[in-house]
Structure 1
Amino acid sequence: MLLSPLLQQKVRFFLSEEKVMDEMSNSDFSKTTSFQHAVSSCCGAIVTSLFVTPLDVVKTRLQAQSSPSPKGKCLVYSNGQVHHTHVCENGDGKVFYNRNRHFKGMLDAFVKIIQIEGIKSLWSGLSPTLIMALPTSVIYFTCYEKLREALRFRLGEDNDHIPIVASSLSRFVSVTAVSPVELIKTRMQYHTLSYKQLQLSIRSTVARDGWLFLWRGWSSTVLRDVPFSGAASGSIAAVVTLPFDVVKTHRQTEIWESETLQSKLQRDSASTWAVMRKIVAKKGIAGLFAGFTPRLFKVTPSCAIMISTYEYGKAFFRHLNEKTNQHS
């Protein structure tokens, strides 16, 4: 399929992350401060979040939804907090799913979410997303600069692997730091919850399973995000790492589902690979690529928005600094 000129321009504009960050070492970097770079990157993350959160919500719903047609007898269950859910017995226990909420694809999910929950639900989890933007950008930016300088001191200025190594390690640190907020965001996108309901759910789970619960899905999140810091194409990385994103969503939503519906599902701490095997056994290989369309649609505009806002912020501060210097 031929790409439109506009899409071709976006694809060309979609630079790898280490190249963008490496531009900070050129002459422009001396005209702006580290704080101004951090502010620019935070603004880029915030603007990006506002635009792509609906796609992220749809992706999460597609990844976490259950099978649409279990066999056996069904009855309707409601706990007063979520929409009516059909509880079906299939011989192996009880399977919980919502018949009216099964999405056939990205557009179907958009339509049903708006019809059933209202358009505001497309921005579920926006608050934790915005909260994540500041520490993620600052931690990543700071670590990247420090690691790059340290590696250049040890390996030499011309080593081509320095940006990739520094970017990957920085992403690892930032993902670890904000993993609890990522969990909260995923849960809010999975079901529309009040902050009180979310707080009670997380508090009870932490009391039972300990504080490490807040880092549930950390390993699959690392496997999802770190390749973005070393890949030549974010679109390729989005496809390759999608199974890890699916696993992350499953691990961060399965406990909430079992608590909300009062089921007797086991709360195990299966590894990423074990969860992958379960998904394949239940849904086939296609289950590992659930949410493919919204994730792919999210990658290109999010990168374009992020880089555009970041570059605009640098230009703004550079111009501001030049005017300040002229008047001093």
Structure 2
Amino acid sequence: MAQNAIAGAMAGIGEHCIMYPVDSIRTRMQVLSVPELEATVKNASKKQLKNNRNLWRGVYSVIVGAGPAHAVHFATYEFCKEKINKQLAGDSIIRAPDSLFEISNQVIASSAAGAIATFAHDALMTPFDGKFFLKLLKQRMQLQDSTYKSVRDCAKKVYTAEGIKAFYISFPTTVSMSIPFQSVQFATYEYCRSILDPEGSYNPKAHMMAGAVSGAVASSVTTPLDVVKTLLQTKGSSNDLEIKNCNGFKQAASIIYDRYGIKGFFRGFRPRVLTNMPSTAISWSVYEYFKWFLASDEGDKFVDRI
């Protein structure tokens, strides 16, 4: 579990830091208080994006939260997947390695383990590493008109203006989105990996391709929930009184539907998918590499030194 936790921490930091600018664009496109931004982003030239340095604002909040969050997530996932796989194998009649039955067992185990790991991670880590606290700060600082000087300045001003509730208002939405997202992602990844690399060996190309597909599928089906979550997490910075006074998932969803219809729930769809495809590919590639490295003799020495 120590190896899985270290590998998970490295995967989380690498994934979020590399893809942070694209995630900033996705956040800005989903914020209803600045609808004109969508056209601006679509027509933005490479030069404009290069000069827009504030796309990196709030990246330190991700570094602080991603390491421990992903460490718990991946360690729990691997533990649960192993236990569930053993249980399913004991109940199975067909045990051939290449059988469709075993592949379906792997998908079921991965999906269930992903849901358990996500629930445990969100429930246990929130009071300690402040995942939702950090995520709110990240999205507030990603806004184009953000006036916050630093993560600390953002936290202080949000707390003064909105109180402690502001940091956890999207908790139910985030949990309800994280569980299906991670379940779909893990199940899709394990399925694709079993097809691309039946032997289950360390295969960077297979890990990257499976990660990209799983990220695209998972992000596509959970985009509506992500739009609602973003509205709740950025409402304190909005000048729109209806959005600013929004109190929960149902009201936020109603605002989006009334103003934009069904299409409103897919604002930022393309940058979300474009973010999750490479970021998930990076995450799984880094994770599988460190898991392979830490399982080697050199890796054992490294873990012992830690």
TM-score (normalised: structure 2) = 0.70
Q: Is the 8 A contact 2:228 2:249 kept in 1?
A: yes
Moved more, 268-277 or 56-65: 268-277
- Which whole-Å CA distance do the structure 1 matches of 2:45 and 2:65 have between them? 24
Match of 2:155 among 199, 206, 215: 199
Q: 1:213-271 CA distances to partner (integer Å, 9 max, x unpaired)?
A: 3111122222322112222343232122101111111111112324xxxx755754533
The match for 1:76 is none
Match of 2:112 among 165, 190, 201: 165
The match for 1:318 is 295
Match of 1:213 among 156, 159, 166: 166
- What code does the residue aligned with 1:275 have? A
1:139 aligns with 2:139: no
The match for 1:295 is 272
The match for 1:86 is none
The match for 1:104 is 39
Segments of 5+ residues of structure 2 without an aligned counterpart are: 93-104, 189-213, 302-306
Q: Is the 8 A contact 1:223 1:241 kept in 2?
A: no
Moved more, 175-184 or 143-152: 143-152
- What code does the residue aligned with 1:222 have? V
CA distance change for structure 1 residues 129 and 236 in 2, over 3 Å: closer, same or farther? same
Moved more, 146-155 or 167-176: 146-155
Q: Is the 8 A contact 1:62 1:290 kept in 2?
A: yes
- Which whole-Å CA distance do the structure 2 matches of 1:305 and 1:287 have between them? 29
How far the C-alpha of 1:200 sits from its partner, in A, is 3.0
Q: Is the 8 A contact 1:114 1:121 kept in 2?
A: no
CA distance change for structure 1 residues 318 and 149 in 2, over 3 Å: closer, same or farther? closer
CA distance change for structure 1 residues 241 and 194 in 2, over 3 Å: closer, same or farther? same
**Structure that is richer in helix per residue:** 2
Counting only pairs closer than 5 Å after superposition, residues 242-281 of structure 1 correspond to structure 2 as: 242-258=223-239, 265=242, 267-281=244-258
CA distance change for structure 1 residues 229 and 102 in 2, over 3 Å: closer, same or farther? closer
3-state DSSP of counterpart to 1:270: coil
3-state DSSP of counterpart to 1:45: helix
1:61 aligns with 2:28: yes
The match for 1:283 is 260
Q: Is the 8 A contact 1:113 1:122 kept in 2?
A: no
The match for 2:96 is none
CA distance change for structure 1 residues 266 and 44 in 2, over 3 Å: closer, same or farther? closer
- What code does the residue aligned with 1:125 have? G
The match for 2:12 is 45
Q: Is the 8 A contact 1:220 1:244 kept in 2?
A: yes
CA distance change for structure 1 residues 186 and 266 in 2, over 3 Å: closer, same or farther? closer
- Which whole-Å CA distance do the structure 1 matches of 2:268 and 2:300 have between them? 47
Structure 1 or 2, whichever has the larger Rg, is: 1
3-state DSSP of counterpart to 1:66: coil
The match for 2:209 is none
Segments of 5+ residues of structure 1 without an aligned counterpart are: 1-33, 69-100
Q: How many pairs does the alignment contain?
A: 251
1:124 aligns with 2:50: no
CA distance change for structure 1 residues 271 and 264 in 2, over 3 Å: closer, same or farther? closer
Q: Is the 8 A contact 2:235 2:246 kept in 1?
A: no
- What code does the residue aligned with 2:156 have? L
How far the C-alpha of 1:148 sits from its partner, in A, is 4.6
The match for 1:222 is 175
The match for 2:122 is 175
